[in-house]
Amino acid sequence: MAIRERNLTNAKWSVLSSIKIVGIGVLQLSLLAQILQANELNLLAIAIVMLLVIDTLADRGFGNAIIRNKSLNNSDLSILYWGNVLCGMAIFAALFIGSDISSRIMNQPEMAIMLEMISVIFIIIPQGQHYRAILQRENQFSRIAFTETASVLAGLGITLFTVWLTPSVLCAIWGYLAMVSIRMLIYCYYGRSWFQPEYRFSLKSFANVRARNG
């Protein structure tokens, strides 16, 4: 009975947090659409699409490997952790270096700084995702729901603050950076009970762990 009640509580938290996140997102976009000038709306649309793609693809299957296989030891988890972090840093470098070229191709000077800011997200996200997967594996859905809701609220707060200072399309990205940063910090705080990374890594061991847990 206790397990059933816990599952119902976790499900309730997940549903409520999803509703709150969607509602806050709609509010944020509506606010920005009303404040920004017409020529900035195209950039806002591009930024939103990029952020959605990042949230969808940033994990690259690392989280699923952790959730599916509860037999992974701390050494295997550490290898996946550092591999994910290094992949994120590689994407950061590619985006940051190519930001100026992309802005020239699309004839959008503001896109350079936008891409540079977005590239930083790939340094932050992998760490939080790793601990989120561990919490999900341990059925800590209430903590996950709290983290997602709190981070989205923090992102909204930063968006509103930057809009108040200087309205621009970058406000959405500042808000997103705040959201992923707060989310990462809370996940790391909660997840430390189950995992603390070892400072060891090799490409061969990373390939072996990935192959075993595909």
Please give the Cα distance from 169 to 209 (Å, whole number): 41
Q: Is the pLDDT score of 117 beyond 80?
A: yes
Using the structure block, give the residue that is written with the tokens 């400072």.
Answer: 199
Higher-confidence residue of 30 and 164: namely 164
Average pLDDT, the chain: 75
Mean pLDDT of 14-26: 54
End-to-end CA distance of the chain: 35
Express as a percent the part of the chain with pLDDT over 70: 67
Please give the Cα distance from 33 to 40 (Å, whole number): 9
Q: Is the pLDDT score of 3 beyond 50?
A: no
Higher-confidence residue of 78 and 53: namely 78
Mean pLDDT of 101-119: 78
| pLDDT range class, residue 184, cuts 50, 70, 90 | very high
Give the highest mean pLDDT range of 39-43, 50-54, 163-167: 163-167
Express as a percent the part of the chain with pLDDT over 90: 5
Higher-confidence residue of 72 and 39: namely 72
Higher-confidence residue of 54 and 77: namely 77
Q: Please report the pLDDT score of residue 40 as a whole number.
A: 62
Number of structural domains in the chain: 1
Expressed as residue numbers, the domain containing 181 is: 2-213
